[in-house]
Structure 1
Amino acid sequence: MSVIHHDSRDLRSFILFWFCRIFVKTLLRIVPISEGVLRRLSALDRWASRDTRPVPGVSVERTTVAGVPADAITPHRLDHPRVAVLYMHGGAFIACGLGTHRQIASAVARELGAPLVNIDYRQSPQVGVGTAVHDAYAVYRELRRSGDYDAIVVAGDSAGGYLAAKVIEYAARDGVAGPDAYIGFSPLLNLSPDAQRSSRHDALLPVTRLEELRPYYERGPEPLDGNLDTTGTDVAVAFPPTVVIVAEGEALQKDARDLRASLNRVGVDNELHIYAGQIHAFPAAVIGSPQAKDAITLSAAFVRNALVESDREDAASA
């Protein structure tokens, strides 16, 4: 239940940090938020999907799970065929998809040595966050029902981290066996309008603009049930062993610290890793950097250890 700080930086990350802080964050502050602008953001994933080169070390197959389009990613070195990873991409519930996040999803599958399902959940402005959660939970239920896996890990970056947390909450609500581990890369964990965050030191996110997206987040057709804030003890008590990666100073570092405090209170094993000089969701955004590789490696190691410990506890209680 520790907080680990990482201070190593490389030139690539340094340049990207200041480029984002000076240019991208400024653009995100001034770009108008409208239905038309949000719909055009879908072009980002279409552009990324044009790269059809094979991803090293994995096989990627387009599929559908519980009616949700997905990439089924299988590492060539399949160390844990009975462990599945359900990955949910970030993008503020309005952008990105399978194309933009194929590399990070493949890296997680490759490092863990387990099959991974990267889902293309429905997004705003067409639908609200409740529908995105509905899609993620439907896929999770289908993976559980299949009987193909002894353990399921939920993982996501940014907005995808929120979906993963809601899957945990929904499973507990319904009496369904919950996930066996949680991986969050700069996860958004609190959608409450009362969330107290500062983006002063965040190189990328002007977090105050989230409120401008709320009308789109609240669209149907599926309601968003349960807690808007998933960092409280009432949700944390259902969490499995959890590893969270954040950039130092980013706005969502507060979400991570709040979740960690609740996990500690209810006795859930967890690690929080804070990387200096990085941007929001850097394992997904700066794939291949030393810090991104390190974050993915230690996340996979945490999950492997958690699953081994769970097996020991099951054997002891048998």
Structure 2
Amino acid sequence: MEPVIEERPGCSKQARRFARFMRYVIRPIFFYSPLTPAMLRAAVVLDVFAPLLMRRARDTRIERVDLGGFHGEWVRPGGVSGSGRVILFLHGGGFFCCGLRTHRKLVERIAQRSDAVAFSVAYRQLPGAPLSTSMADALDGYRILLEQGHAPQNIVIAGDSAGGFLAFTTALKALRRGFPAPAGIVALSPMVDLDHEARASYPFTTKDVYIPVHRLEGLKKLLLADAMDGDPLPSPCDQDLRNLPPVFMQVGSREGLRWDAELMAERLAAADVPHRLQIWEDQIHVFPAFAGVIPEGLQAIDEIAAFIRETTYPKPADAAA
């Protein structure tokens, strides 16, 4: 199988203006903040104040769920038909920032357009927990959905950036433990490789509008603090991918993690896993999260929703029958 890659041309004036804002206002903060425990703890401010900027729809219900050491929330948009579709969403943020609040609007939009409900997991992160804990919490989120009776053929695991990493590792770990596979995986600008050596020479690694991709090597040391010498990296791109369900990925054409998305498309193709990678011209990292100001973000969310509807069962025709 050859990698299935779609080029999406065109970049609006709104998207270009927002990219300039991210480059000159947000980029310096991310690039020069030290990777110290104090800075990592301070990053929680993003999640605390996110609701002031991104308000959910009035008819969307949010239900917190305590999961023993961490928590999650159900996002139930108004007007969902009760199709049985469930999105297990794993937020991005480099495994140290962002959370349920920063991603709530994105999750709401995807769920509403997919005619689904979403279960968003606030997995434990740095500096309080290493990567192994984040992965375990994400897998617990999937296990809990299965234990509650949700059919695996109706569950799609989705995530952005670091959450894309977790979306893949959750599905892979589930298969290794004998759990049924989910219906599909959605990964937005996913990070899939913890080995920064090959990525370092990629043209957009140091030119990304706001994500300090070149700092992933330093972040890796913190993420793997509990790993033993000689342990293989848990990068999903290096795992046995052969039994994964269909995968849908989106990435901006000029962002540093385009390297990861293209690498994953190559590995999925080699494993004969059905997949699609959309590369959107000049869009920034996880641009669907900024759909309120970037028109292409809403278009991208419609593409995500179409994949979720097409991948899950029962499909509308089956339900009618």
CA RMSD of aligned residues (A): 2.6
Q: Which stretches in structure 2 are left out of the alignment for 5+ residues?
A: none
Whole-Å separation in 2 of the counterparts to 1:14 and 1:47: 25
Who is 1:191 aligned against? 194
Distance 1:57-1:274 versus aligned 2 partners, 3 A rule = farther
Who is 1:290 aligned against? 295
Identity level (%): 29
Q: Which deviations, in whole Å up to 9, do the C-alpha atoms of 1:195-217 show, x marking residues without a partner?
A: 42431442122211112222321
Q: How does 1:71-82 map to 2 (within 5 A)?
A: 71-82=73-84
Amino acid at match of 1:208: H
- The question of whether the paired residues in 2 share the 8 Å contact of 1:205 and 1:280 is answered with yes
- The question of whether the paired residues in 2 share the 8 Å contact of 1:112 and 1:300 is answered with yes
Whole-Å separation in 1 of the counterparts to 2:54 and 2:292: 17
Amino acid at match of 1:228: P
CA positional deviation for 1:86: 0.4
Whole-Å separation in 2 of the counterparts to 1:182 and 1:79: 22
Amino acid at match of 1:136: A
Q: Which deviations, in whole Å up to 9, do the C-alpha atoms of 1:116-169 show, x marking residues without a partner?
A: 011111110111111111111011111112213342110011110011111011
The reply on whether 1:203 has 2:206 as its aligned counterpart is no
Q: Which moved more, 1:37-46 or 1:141-150?
A: 141-150
CA positional deviation for 1:80: 5.0
Distance 1:281-1:296 versus aligned 2 partners, 3 A rule = same
Distance 1:310-1:192 versus aligned 2 partners, 3 A rule = farther
Whole-Å separation in 1 of the counterparts to 2:13 and 2:188: 21
Whole-Å separation in 1 of the counterparts to 2:5 and 2:59: 31
Q: How does 1:124-203 map to 2 (within 5 A)?
A: 124-149=126-151, 150-197=153-200, 198=202, 199-203=205-209
CA positional deviation for 1:87: 0.3
Distance 1:54-1:168 versus aligned 2 partners, 3 A rule = closer
Aligned length: 309
CA positional deviation for 1:310: 9.2
Who is 2:254 aligned against? 249
Secondary structure of the structure 1 residue equivalent to 2:234: coil
Secondary structure of the structure 2 residue equivalent to 1:177: coil
Who is 2:22 aligned against? 20
Q: How does 1:97-116 map to 2 (within 5 A)?
A: 97-116=99-118
CA positional deviation for 1:171: 0.9
Whole-Å separation in 2 of the counterparts to 1:253 and 1:141: 30
CA positional deviation for 1:178: 1.7
Q: Which moved more, 1:166-175 or 1:284-293?
A: 284-293
> Taking structure 2 as the reference length, what is the TM-score of the superposition?
0.87
| Match of residue 242, structure 2, among 222, 232, 237 | 237
Whole-Å separation in 2 of the counterparts to 1:237 and 1:52: 38
Who is 1:2 aligned against? 4
Distance 1:196-1:167 versus aligned 2 partners, 3 A rule = same
> Taking structure 1 as the reference length, what is the TM-score of the superposition?
0.88
Q: Which stretches in structure 1 are left out of the alignment for 5+ residues?
A: 313-318
Secondary structure of the structure 2 residue equivalent to 1:235: coil
Whole-Å separation in 1 of the counterparts to 2:58 and 2:186: 22
Whole-Å separation in 1 of the counterparts to 2:274 and 2:117: 24
Amino acid at match of 1:2: V
CA positional deviation for 1:187: 0.9
Who is 2:224 aligned against? 218
Whole-Å separation in 2 of the counterparts to 1:65 and 1:151: 22
Who is 2:280 aligned against? 275
Q: Which moved more, 1:8-17 or 1:75-84?
A: 75-84
Amino acid at match of 1:207: V
Amino acid at match of 2:120: N
CA positional deviation for 1:238: 2.8
Amino acid at match of 2:299: D
Q: Which moved more, 1:133-142 or 1:17-26?
A: 17-26
CA positional deviation for 1:41: 0.6
Q: Which deviations, in whole Å up to 9, do the C-alpha atoms of 1:234-292 show, x marking residues without a partner?
A: 43213211110100021111111111112222222111111112111111144452211
- The question of whether the paired residues in 1 share the 8 Å contact of 2:123 and 2:134 is answered with yes
Distance 1:34-1:66 versus aligned 2 partners, 3 A rule = closer
Distance 1:85-1:165 versus aligned 2 partners, 3 A rule = same
